[in-house]
Structure 1
Amino acid sequence: MAAETQPSKVFNIDVEGQLAHAEEDGGDALSHSAHDYTQRAQWLRAAVLGANDGLLSTASLMMGVGAVKKDVRTMILTGIAGLVAGACSMAIGEFVSVYSQYDIELAQMKREGNTQNKDKLPNPYYAALASALAFAVGAGVPLLAAAFITEYKVRIGVVVAAVTLALVVFGGLSAFLGKSPLVKSSLRVLFGGWLAMAVTFGLTKLVGDLGI
């Protein structure tokens, strides 16, 4: 009886070991897949937020200057300056931030003696470029809306309408990527954008009227 049960025990142990190994491999694959998905979602969300930042800051800047300077040339030049300055600022900020993360993760890999996955570390150059492009895309919305309209009041209305539509789209994308309520998130972004433009327009007009 002992001779008969021994192979069975060995077989059971071997099967259990293989199952455990398979589950381990499958778990690693699932974990890796989830990690990749999380990273992609984070990059997409960062791009959407960067575009939203470019949209809102440039539109607010154009509206503020437009409160005291009604000609289209001044408004467009202001928007272009905002686009270039904002894109450069975003690129530099993202480069410094991601490079710091790169240095930390690389140092950790070296401590663990595991540098074969170095190519999976975040690339600060790609991050800087992506951030600048995302900002420029958002900033391009109010610029294109205002570019060909000479009538002041019509131009202001078109810019507000274009920015409103873009805010709804970007707010919806942020909500989708962040797994948050779509309507509430979109409305928060929309009302926040309206408030930023209104405050900038009102305060700049007040300063202009006071002659400061």
Structure 2
Amino acid sequence: MRHAERHRTDRIGWLRAAVLGANDGIVSTASLVLGVAAAGTETKAVLVAGVAGLVAGAMSMAAGEYVSVSSQSDTEQADLVRERRELADAPEQEQAELAEIYVRRGLDPALAATVASQLMKHDALGAHARDELGISKILTARPIQAALASAGTFSVGAALPLLVVLLLPASMLMWAVPGSALVFLALLGSLAAKTGGAPVLIAAFRVTFWGALAMALTAGVGALFGVAT
């Protein structure tokens, strides 16, 4: 009977982008709302600032992820083009190079040479991409997927503090916004850790600590400028 193992490395690309987007959406929007509210601004202005932050942040996240991951993808493709050319020009040398990689990983030279020979016959470029360049189908760069995941999850995360602004009076925002944001962040960290198989408490503490620090600093700036005006 075949044993089917389930691994989580195939989730790394979209999970990283999704967690980054949602975390940034919650922290940046809650901090923005808190800073504007601390300056003594009325609820309508706080809401407008929050919505503007949501739209700008989602587009910024999408563009940033797309450009960043596209650069990674361009580098991968350039390496593959060069590797394909080297395989065509010097296949024996490339096979020896592959065998040497397997020797360094623990195989004896004879077995390493046999494995390299068989893999070269099966899929030479795939073998070199995976074992020499570290490029695999699971971990390869996907710019569009990363951009959509970041923008979408940023929007969802940013909508949570705005919902609090809509539902509660202005007098409660200074406590309700950071309190709810910390709850949302803890849930996000726990969910991301569970999805990725990481320790839940450590992940939850990590995101709530930095979120609390960001909101405290922004609230301080808002209060300072509110007093100054």
TM range (shorter): 0.7 to 0.9
Please say if 1:148 is aligned against 2:119: no
Alignment equivalent of 1:190, drawn from 199, 208, 223? 208
8 Å contact from structure 1 (residues 146, 155) kept in 2: yes
What letter corresponds to residue 156 of structure 2 in structure 1?
V
Q: 1:59 to 1:93 in 2, by over 3 A?
A: same
Deviations 1:130-177 (A, max 9, x none): 21111111101101111133x222233332332122111112134335
Partners of 1:148 and 1:176 lie apart in 2 by: 30
Greater RCO (Cα-Cα under 8 Å, separation 6 or more): 2
Alignment match, 1:111: 82
Q: What TM-score, normalized by structure 2, do the two folds share?
A: 0.67
What letter corresponds to residue 147 of structure 2 in structure 1?
A
Task: Please list, as runs of the form range in 1=range in 2, the aligned pairs for 1:158-169 lying within 5 A after superposition.
Answer: 158-169=176-187
Deviations 1:57-100 (A, max 9, x none): 11000000011133211111111111111111111111111111
Seq. identity, %: 45
Offset of 1:179 from its aligned partner?
Answer: 4.7
8 Å contact from structure 2 (residues 34, 173) kept in 1: no
Please say if 1:127 is aligned against 2:98: no
Partner-residue secondary structure (3-state), 1:69: coil
Higher Cα radius of gyration: 1
Alignment match, 1:64: 35
What letter corresponds to residue 136 of structure 1 in structure 2?
S
Offset of 1:53 from its aligned partner?
Answer: 0.9
**Any gaps of 5 or more consecutive residues in structure 2?**
85-124, 130-136
What letter corresponds to residue 206 of structure 2 in structure 1?
R
Task: Please list, as runs of the form range in 1=range in 2, the aligned pairs for 1:35-114 lying within 5 A after superposition.
Answer: 37-113=8-84, 114=125
Partner-residue secondary structure (3-state), 1:147: helix
Partners of 2:220 and 2:181 lie apart in 1 by: 18
Offset of 1:178 from its aligned partner?
Answer: 5.3
What letter corresponds to residue 142 of structure 2 in structure 1?
N
**Any gaps of 5 or more consecutive residues in structure 1?**
1-25
What letter corresponds to residue 128 of structure 1 in structure 2?
A
The alignment yields a C-alpha RMSD, in angstroms, of 2.6
Deviations 1:90-126 (A, max 9, x none): 11111111111111111222233349x9xx5533223
Partners of 1:43 and 1:152 lie apart in 2 by: 37
Partners of 2:212 and 2:148 lie apart in 1 by: 28
Please say if 1:157 is aligned against 2:175: yes
